[in-house]
Amino acid sequence: MENSIFENLQSCAISPSLEIGSYEALWDQSEKMGFAKLAKMFASGAMFPSHFIATEVAEKYYAEVMKRVQNANLNQFGVRIRGTLDYKPSFLEACEPLEVIYYEGLWDLVYTPSVAIVGTRHPSEEGIRRAKKLTQGLIEKGYTIVSGLAAGIDTAAHSTALEYGGKTIAVIGTPLSEVYPKENKDLFARIAKDHLIISQVPFIKYEKQNIKTKRLYFPERNKTMSALTKATVIVEAGETSGTLVQARAALKQKRKLFILQNNFDNPRLTWPKRMEEKGAIRVKDFNDLWVHLEY
């Protein structure tokens, strides 16, 4: 039976709700599903999640997602799908480009020039002070501040951006329906209301996972943060910080990677030197940073 002209036209478009449902189903139907595996499946760029999942299954998952969106009182919820005009091309430069990105807030903030400020969850007072000063300077220069909403350096970066009337984007390692850490509930709400929160984490699968596998989303979102931004600045980080995942991603994606001098001064750390050898830029004072950033 031949397709009608209308059906032919329809096949040239995607339906966002079905892509959401299909993405969730893909994650949920295989124990081993991960971002690397998904990226392989979609490497050609010509396929969409809905190519792999029956419509009625996708509809079911979509309905489940929307229940969670409503329960979490997500206000400006939306989705970005690879292969459409609304997917910012810089996301394609990630080693494993995301197929689906969820967001809450004003998506268009991704088109503003942005810098990621990241670091440890347990910073020194000096580290917090540096994060604030750096954020303030970047805001004055018109940059949007991107961070991961974690405790410590991330929280300092987001809060300072808000305090100085700047723009900020949080790239989180939980679904949009969860706030982590809990004490950032108000910060999350403020960013969601007037700025932007981004998550690549599937709602349904996440609920079925244990703490150990849930944690794996955090370093994954660090790669996304790097792909989104023009540069990443590491304020303060330990030897095993997720921040280092972002550092490696930034270098791989040909983004600028800045490391503040204090990290080099710490004799217990080996990573600053290693990253510098691979192309990271050492920042002794913020003027170094402006020069490199604008160049």
Question: Which residues of the chain form contacts with another protein (CB under 8 A)?
Answer: 4-6, 8-10, 12-18, 20, 48, 62, 75-76, 78-79, 81, 83-86, 88-89, 106-109, 111-113, 193
105: helix, strand or coil: strand
In DSSP terms, 116 is beta-bridged to 146, 232
Is the Cβ of residue 47 or residue 269 nearer to another protein in the bound state? 47
φ, ψ of residue 8 in degrees (nearest 5): -60, -40
Q: How far is the CB of 238 from another protein (least distance, A)?
A: 34
Q: How far is the CB of 156 from another protein (least distance, A)?
A: 25
What is the Cα–Cα distance from 294 to 165, expressed in whole angstroms?
22
Is the Cβ of residue 84 or residue 287 nearer to another protein in the bound state? 84
What is the Cα–Cα distance from 277 to 257, expressed in whole angstroms?
12
- Length in residues, the chain: 295
187: helix, strand or coil: helix
Q: How far is the CB of 167 from another protein (least distance, A)?
A: 10
In DSSP terms, 78 is beta-bridged to 103
Is the Cβ of residue 132 or residue 256 nearer to another protein in the bound state? 256
In sequence order, the 6+-apart residues with CB closer than 8 A to the CB of 232 are 115, 116, 117, 118, 225, 226, 246, 247, 250, 255, 256, 257, 258
Q: How far is the CB of 85 from another protein (least distance, A)?
A: 4
Is the Cβ of residue 65 or residue 257 nearer to another protein in the bound state? 65
Q: How far is the CB of 265 from another protein (least distance, A)?
A: 36
Is the Cβ of residue 95 or residue 106 nearer to another protein in the bound state? 106
Is the Cβ of residue 125 or residue 186 nearer to another protein in the bound state? 186
In contact, 133 and 247? CB cutoff 8 Å? no
Is the Cβ of residue 12 or residue 211 nearer to another protein in the bound state? 12
Q: Give the residue from 194, 201, 204, 228 showing the smallest Cα distance to 89.
A: 228
Give the other-Cβ count within 10 Å of 249's Cβ.
Answer: 24
Q: How far is the CB of 139 from another protein (least distance, A)?
A: 17
Q: How far is the CB of 4 from another protein (least distance, A)?
A: 7
Written in H, E and C, the secondary structure of 86-103 is CCCHHHHHCCCCCCEEEE
What is the Cα–Cα distance from 1 to 215, expressed in whole angstroms?
49
φ, ψ of residue 258 in degrees (nearest 5): -110, 135
